[in-house]
A and B are shown apart, each in its own frame.
Chain A
């Protein structure tokens, strides 16, 4: 693992380490050479680990009091809110924690898109990350079903019905998913079971994600390969640990602001109405973090087409490392891609907004434009810009940010050298 072999100081330590090299692993993690120019966008990996652990710990406590039964689920959530000691706090941390988790993961993903962290040799890190993201969406969706409110029930109905679009076997698959002929008690039961399982799958993938990261090492804002260890790197501990802690605390302040002062602002008020299969809510909307995909789904008049496009919007990310033809990683040195990057960010935000609006009139038109552009960005813009773009000069090392002779925008390069 590390280049210099770790030697435990104590005899007992050596005895144990020879049998299970946990101490070597610990030494590797603390010494791990990290680029010294990582900016605060790089702190979201640590923040995401915190989010996952928070969700697991609060979730385990909630599961001690929650009842996964169609007649009792809503009441058991109210029991948690009213009668369990600090139940309101644990539940609000868990429900807002999901949103904070997605906020952090979107920043993490968009950081990767800006600095080209998905490119060679980090494709596997990227792909494992996307698998985590997919599992997060599944866990969040099933978690939202558990309180068995109106949005829980109708959200589950809409999403599971998507599978009925599959030709020939669609209806059978949907019935199989439900465990009944509609969303009902068996559906709630199995969603609870899977909702409890998925976080541990995520945890396993997180270990692989970090393992895969530690093979090539971190990308950095300049996007160049660096020698490790060298004067361009710092040991992970204490330099990165303290910086991650600082960023995490800032994140926790925002998190606490939601939990204590507007705990329901990110949810939908209809979910405080108990599930009623006979009354359909006026607008069925998923949680905010799924809205862009919901907009894509609804922008296609054909159900199967919508489902394919929605899943395609995620799966296209898996081949992104091969769609991007640019040899330069960081958008800091890619003047054209940088413009398209921000247009893409706007496009996704716009799709999110359209997902929250009714699918009609101008909303539908804009959702369609946004959907087309989403795919154009990956299929056309990424390959072509990489081929034709004239990139800015790239520094030789982090310590010498600008190549002598000057780049087009030296001030920008300096600013983006991770010193925000």
Chain B
């Protein structure tokens, strides 16, 4: 293209750097966690996913629904990979309303792996009424629905603090360093030893936050491992094909007096 000239370079520099210096935002960036599932070949930590499910089940699920997941997902490849028997047991421990039966009556039955995760409240209004006017968001795609993703969820879980001096908080409102606006209607959900991990891992707040965030990240992107695996293959294939086509192109164009 036209040679690089001074105006052009200056303008590019201006656009690239001015915004970061003059207009820096005041919000605290979320903690950067070294997640095992980031990167081109990232995978979930299976044990962490299973522990994270336990935290979700015993803590989060009393208020937060996860309506797009089914119990069978817990046994699928790339997820917590509970055994078939474990998945059945997890599902069976939940009472699911079904029906109507042949008499027109609704009835309850033990859950099956094909059932969707049971929501804690019958509808959104009930969940708002039970939570002081704040709707505990559905957690199925929560990680994808927040700008900082996994880092943000983790940061909020460990970001509870006493409010700075002079800040008045209403009843049922808590201060959180990382929450957008710093005010959150959920009290700190995790406390030391609130769950007892089956695998003996110490249930510190950080550990639980990490585990449940891993679980939520999988819930939002259950295809992640397959996506990464397929992606690596696709790109290797494309690169090889590109090389072959490039060589063919060179050969074809060598017939005429022109460069490509």
Residues in A lying within 8 Å of B, measured CB to CB: 36-37, 75, 78-79, 81-82, 88-89, 92, 114, 234, 238-239, 242-243, 245-246, 249-250, 252-253, 256-257, 259-261, 263-264, 269-270, 272-274, 282, 331-332, 338-339, 341-343, 346, 349-350, 353, 357, 362-363, 412, 416, 419-420
B133-152 residues with Cβ-Cβ distance < 8 A to A are 137-138, 140-141, 144-147, 149
Q: A261-B40, A346-B8 are in contact. Are A36 and B242 (CB under 8 A)?
A: no
Q: Which residue of A lies closest to B144 (CB)?
A: A272
Give Cα distance in the complex from A420 to B96, angstroms.
65
Q: Which residues of B contact A341 (CB under 8 A)?
A: 2
Query: How near does chain A come to B19, taking the closest CB pair, in angstroms?
Result: 7
Q: A239-B252, A249-B238, A273-B137 are in contact. Are A346 and B227 (CB under 8 A)?
A: no
Stretch at the interface among B157-165, B199-207, B243-251: B243-251
Q: Are A256 and B248 in contact (CB under 8 A)?
A: no
A75, A78, A331, A363: the one contacting B23 at CB < 8 Å is A363
Q: Which residues of B contact A253 (CB under 8 A)?
A: 235, 238-239, 242
Residues in B lying within 8 Å of A, measured CB to CB: 1-3, 5, 7-8, 11-12, 15, 19, 22-23, 40, 67-69, 73, 137-138, 140-141, 144-147, 149, 180, 220, 222-223, 227-228, 230-232, 234-235, 238-239, 241-242, 245-246, 248-249, 252-253, 256, 258-260
Q: Are A239 and B253 in contact (CB under 8 A)?
A: yes
Q: Which residue of A lies closest to B12 (CB)?
A: A346
A37, A256, A350, A353: the one contacting B238 at CB < 8 Å is A256
Q: Are B23 and A343 in contact (CB under 8 A)?
A: no
Q: Which residues of B contact A332 (CB under 8 A)?
A: 2
A-B contact count (CB 8 A): 120
Additional pairs, 17, CB under 8 Å, beyond known A243-B260, A353-B15, A419-B259:
A81-B223, A82-B69, A88-B227, A89-B223, A89-B230, A246-B246, A249-B245, A253-B238, A257-B231, A338-B2, A339-B5, A341-B2, A342-B5, A342-B8, A343-B11, A346-B8, A363-B23
Q: Which residues of A contact B11 (CB under 8 A)?
A: 342-343, 346
Give Cα distance in the complex from A272 to B241, angstroms.
36
Q: Which residue of B lies closest to A342 (CB)?
A: B8
Q: Which residues of A contact B260 (CB under 8 A)?
A: 243, 419
Query: How near does chain A come to B208, taking the closest CB pair, in angstroms?
Result: 24
Q: Are B231 and A246 in contact (CB under 8 A)?
A: no
The 3 closest A-B pairs by CB, nearest first: A260-B231, A272-B145, A346-B11
Q: Are A249 and B241 in contact (CB under 8 A)?
A: yes
B230, B232, B249, B259 interface centre (most CB from chain A within 10 Å): B249
Q: Which residue of B lies closest to A366 (CB)?
A: B18
Q: Which residues of A contact B22 (CB under 8 A)?
A: 362
Give Cα distance in the complex from A242 to B252, angstroms.
8
Q: Are B145 and A412 in contact (CB under 8 A)?
A: no
Q: Which residues of B contact A114 (CB under 8 A)?
A: 1-2
Q: A253-B235, A346-B8, A350-B15 are in contact. Are A269 and B1 (CB under 8 A)?
A: no
Q: Which residue of A lies closest to B76 (CB)?
A: A82
Q: A234-B256, A246-B249, A349-B15 are in contact. Are A273 and B145 (CB under 8 A)?
A: yes
Give Cα distance in the complex from A111 to B1, angstroms.
10
